[in-house]
Amino acid sequence: MSSTALKVLLDSTYLLPSFGIEVEGLQNEHIIQLREAVIKGKIRFYCLTVVWVEVIGKVFRENQRLKLDIEEILDVTIKSLLESGFYEWIQPTSEAVKLAFKLRKLGHRDNIDNLLYATSITNNMIFLTMDENFKNFLLKEGYKVNNLMNHTQLLLKIK
């Protein structure tokens, strides 16, 4: 892996396609381009272990809604996400947890997003997210958001 690879922390939304769940605005071509960027060493994907809380909930709800049975792919998908080496799984630092507390105190109730943002800041990472409401909250509270990008912005940056 290239030492110049951009460190990219993924919002849980970007893990959902692995479970066969379509994400509005995220096309197969985007997924392929992101995958190629990882393989070429342009970017390195990181995931915060706590995102499983969101992923499990979202995957469960979507499968209930669509009346799907993902038991067949569940084992392979989870192993691929955790063990393939394509994603590096990390824990939040104490600094990140303190910043997440501060964001919660300011009124942002999504603790996972708070931890993701805080981890991206304390580890100098790009936070790959499509959450414009969170971005607007951060701007309103005076936090920097230049490290928040969606997939199209990231793909343009690494072209």
Could you give the domains of the chain?
Answer: 6-157 (3.40.50.1010)
Q: Write the pLDDT tens digit of every residue in 60-110.
A: 998 888 887 788 889 999 999 999 999 999 999 999 999 999 999 999 999
Q: Which helix (H) or strand (E) holds 151?
A: helix 151-157
Angle at 59 between CA 127 and CA 118, to 5 degrees: 25
d(CA 29, CA 38): 14
Angstrom distances, CA of residue 137 to CA of 34, 98, 121, 125, 145: 27, 18, 16, 19, 10
Q: Write the pLDDT tens digit of every residue in 33-57.
A: 999 999 999 999 999 999 999 999 9
